[in-house]
Chains A and B, each alone.
Chain A
Amino acid sequence: MIKQSKLPGLLTLGTLLFFYLPIILLVINSFNASRTGGSWGGFTLKWYEQLFSAREIWHALRNTLVVAVIATAASTIIGTTAAIALHRYRGRLQNAHYFLVYTPLVVPEILLGISMLLFFVALKVNLGLTTVILAHITFCISYVAMAVLSRLQDFDVTIIEAARDLGANSWTTTWSILIPVIFPGIMAGALLAFTLSIDDFVISFFVAGPGSTTLPIHIYSMIKRGSMPLINALSTILLAITFLAILAYQIISRHNRPAED
């Protein structure tokens, strides 16, 4: 065995520090009584207290969750049918279909945002929560479709043929074989859609109207207006939720893995 270079390992360690130092500082500063965060002014929970009494944040959070739940449900259904169609059929229609599903993934968010804003304005649709939901469904479809498609590519189609030969109709093969087998892919796609919807700022900012402020839009206006300690506290809470969710997801998927394979 040839001795390996230490350089990639050191670079990885350095990059992980680079990833986490700003985030760790932000968490520490959320408990810092000093407003600017350049020095330590003692431990405090006052920013959290101020945060919980801010009504706009709760309103924005409610909007975010409403949008995310509806967009996830709709895009999971539409994205899954898209993936099944792309997997099952070949031809010109599916080539065009693939192009339409794939392209939104590589188009910058700002172009999706401005194009949908122009579309709604041209049709004289009032901007609000509905336009945000429509926009979120649009970009989530592609992510769900790709997640389900990657699961379908490992799927053994002969199982369906075997079931057909044994007399199962297409309804039975779909609901008793296809859906259970690709279910992890559907769940992964739904999770991805939910996270992307909760996190989306750029597209929402373009198509949101008065009263449809989502949490990222609210955080953005806080960043612009400069109430830094409050954003630190809010960010710390969101980071903790994200961290716990990923940890839970990793543990669950690890438990499931040996049973699947």
Chain B
Amino acid sequence: MTPTRRRFWGECSLTAPSMLWLLVFFLLPTLIILAIALKPADPSGGIADGWTWHTLFSLRNPNYPEIIFRTVWLSAVTTTITLAVAIPIAYYIARCKPWKRDLVLFLTIIPFWTSFLIRIFAWKAVLHPDGILKSILVFCHLASPGTLLLYRPEAVLLVMVYTELPFAILPLYAAAEKFDFSLIEAAMDLGAGRLRAFFSVFIPGIYNGLLSACLMVLIPSIGSYVIPDVVGGIGSQMIGNVIAQRTFVDRNLPAASALAAVLTLVMIIPLIYFLRIKKSADSGPTPAKEVV
């Protein structure tokens, strides 16, 4: 065998396992979403033969625009709050003494590895009508005994920020760690105020980390399903909840797949935007790098 040919077969044998696996179990199923949205539903919960436009027309459901708007709005607010809190924290961790830095990072990594469901459940217990937060608020006369803390969009927002914060802090810290802090001192020597130095020197300096943090918070938020399901009520449903409802309650898979196609469209706009700037900004976008 010639070296070129050997190289070709080497590349094929190393690429084939993952390439074929992901083609069959990731790309094909993603494309199937579009095909099944055009299939009629089988009353027993399966997919019937033939083709129909009927399911796509059912997307004209008058509740859907509101749910889509709420999904985008809650995700955008979650991302803004999370980043606003995570940026100063990343700044602090990158600047503090090594032992403190290790401690804060360790304490941030624990929630990151802790079961997602348990962290949501912990908040359900806190916000519960018989829970501790309500007792404190009533005791301080900040809430009336009839106030409901759970089952409202604010509760969903709070728990989304809670679960997403570690995912924003870690990539931001990875970026802040590489930042040259003498630049801030230089800016201040040249007469910039503390805030001016922070916003015009530090923020542009961690731009890449900021983008990946934004992506890592925004995309899962748009696809949220468990948080609004556990701590939200009817008035805080997101697209994910409706997909789950069509799948598990109505057993109407074509309707679920039409909605999944809508979710893909909503999500793909920020995704393509971010990937494009990221690609021009750096060579290797590796979210896992910050994790391990």
Within 8 A of B (CB), among A84-120: 84-85, 88-89, 93-94, 96-97, 100-112, 114-119
**What are the residues of chain A within 8 A of B260 when measuring CB–CB?**
110-111, 114-115
Q: Within 8 Å of chain A (Cβ to Cβ): is B146?
A: no
CB atoms of A108 and B219 under 8 A apart: yes
| Number of B interface residues in the complex (CB < 8 A) | 91
Given known contacts A108-B220, A114-B256, A115-B30, A22 and B288 CB-to-CB distance under 8 angstroms: no
**What are the residues of chain B within 8 A of A88 when measuring CB–CB?**
11, 14
**What are the residues of chain A within 8 A of B89 when measuring CB–CB?**
8, 11-12, 15
A84 to B230: give the CA distance in the assembly, Å: 41
A9 to B104: give the CA distance in the assembly, Å: 11
Chain A 200-212 against B: per-residue CB contact (8 Å), 1 yes, 0 no?
A: 0110001000000
CB atoms of A108 and B222 under 8 A apart: yes
Within 8 A of A (CB), among B126-158: 126, 128, 130-132, 134-135
Q: Within 8 Å of chain A (Cβ to Cβ): is B284?
A: yes
Q: Within 8 Å of chain B (Cβ to Cβ): is A243?
A: yes
CB atoms of B22 and A104 under 8 A apart: yes
CB atoms of B125 and A108 under 8 A apart: no
Chain A min CB distance to B258 (Å): 11
CB atoms of A82 and B17 under 8 A apart: yes
User: DSSP majority for the A interface?
Assistant: helix
Q: Within 8 Å of chain A (Cβ to Cβ): is B23?
A: yes
Given known contacts A11-B92, A138-B21, A122 and B115 CB-to-CB distance under 8 angstroms: no
CB atoms of A192 and B288 under 8 A apart: yes
Q: Within 8 Å of chain A (Cβ to Cβ): is B99?
A: no
**What are the residues of chain A within 8 A of B68 when measuring CB–CB?**
none
CB atoms of B288 and A146 under 8 A apart: yes
Q: Within 8 Å of chain B (Cβ to Cβ): is A121?
A: yes
Given known contacts A15-B85, A15-B165, A216-B115, A37 and B130 CB-to-CB distance under 8 angstroms: yes
Q: Within 8 Å of chain B (Cβ to Cβ): is A4?
A: yes
Q: Within 8 Å of chain A (Cβ to Cβ): is B162?
A: yes
Q: Which of B55-63, B105-113, B203-211 contacts A (4 or more CB under 8 A)?
A: B105-113
Q: Within 8 Å of chain B (Cβ to Cβ): is A36?
A: yes
CB atoms of A110 and B114 under 8 A apart: no
Chain A min CB distance to B254 (Å): 9
Within 8 A of B (CB), among A104-160: 104-112, 114-119, 121-122, 134-135, 137-138, 141-143, 145-147, 149-150, 153
Given known contacts A16-B104, A26-B121, A79-B18, A111 and B263 CB-to-CB distance under 8 angstroms: yes
Within 8 A of A (CB), among B222-236: 222-226, 230
Given known contacts A121-B46, A121-B253, A150-B286, A232 and B18 CB-to-CB distance under 8 angstroms: no
CB atoms of B29 and A238 under 8 A apart: no
**What are the residues of chain B within 8 A of A15 when measuring CB–CB?**
85, 89, 165
Q: Within 8 Å of chain A (Cβ to Cβ): is B28?
A: yes
In chain B, what residue has the closest Cβ to A146?
B288
Which of A107, A111, A185 has the largest count of B CB atoms less than 10 A from its CB?
A111
Given known contacts A108-B219, A138-B21, A37 and B29 CB-to-CB distance under 8 angstroms: no
Residue in A12, A93, A111, A191 whose beta carbon sits within 8 Å of that of B93 in the complex: A12
**What are the residues of chain B within 8 A of A8 when measuring CB–CB?**
88-89, 91-92, 95
**What are the residues of chain B within 8 A of A29 when measuring CB–CB?**
125
Residue in A103, A106, A195, A201 whose beta carbon sits within 8 Å of that of B215 in the complex: A106
CB atoms of A246 and B106 under 8 A apart: yes
**What are the residues of chain B within 8 A of A201 when measuring CB–CB?**
116-117, 226
Within 8 A of B (CB), among A182-201: 185, 188-189, 191-192, 195, 199, 201
CB atoms of A118 and B125 under 8 A apart: no
Which of B30, B33, B118, B226 has the largest count of A CB atoms less than 10 A from its CB?
B118
Which of B29, B32, B85, B162 has the largest count of A CB atoms less than 10 A from its CB?
B29
Within 8 A of A (CB), among B242-261: 243-244, 247, 253, 256-257, 260
Q: Within 8 Å of chain B (Cβ to Cβ): is A175?
A: no
CB atoms of A109 and B223 under 8 A apart: yes
Chain B min CB distance to A3 (Å): 9
**What are the residues of chain A within 8 A of B54 when measuring CB–CB?**
none
**What are the residues of chain A within 8 A of B123 when measuring CB–CB?**
22
CB atoms of A93 and B256 under 8 A apart: no
A97 to B17: give the CA distance in the assembly, Å: 11
Within 8 A of B (CB), among A1-33: 1-2, 4-5, 7-9, 11-12, 15-16, 18-23, 25-26, 29
For the complex of A and B, the 4 pairs showing the least CB-CB separation, nearest first, are A108-B223, A146-B288, A82-B18, A8-B92
Q: List 9 A-B contacts (CB under 8 A).
A: A23-B118, A25-B132, A29-B125, A85-B14, A94-B15, A97-B18, A146-B289, A147-B291, A224-B230
Which residues of B pack against A, CB within 8 Å?
A: 10-11, 14-15, 17-19, 21-23, 25-30, 32-33, 36, 46-47, 85, 88-89, 91-93, 95-96, 104, 106-111, 113-126, 128, 130-132, 134-135, 162, 165-166, 185, 188, 194, 215, 219-220, 222-226, 230, 240, 243-244, 247, 253, 256-257, 260, 263-264, 267, 271, 284-289, 291-292
Given A77-B17, A199-B115, output 10 extra A-B contacts at Cβ < 8 Å.
A11-B88, A23-B111, A23-B118, A109-B225, A111-B30, A116-B25, A153-B284, A216-B117, A238-B114, A242-B113
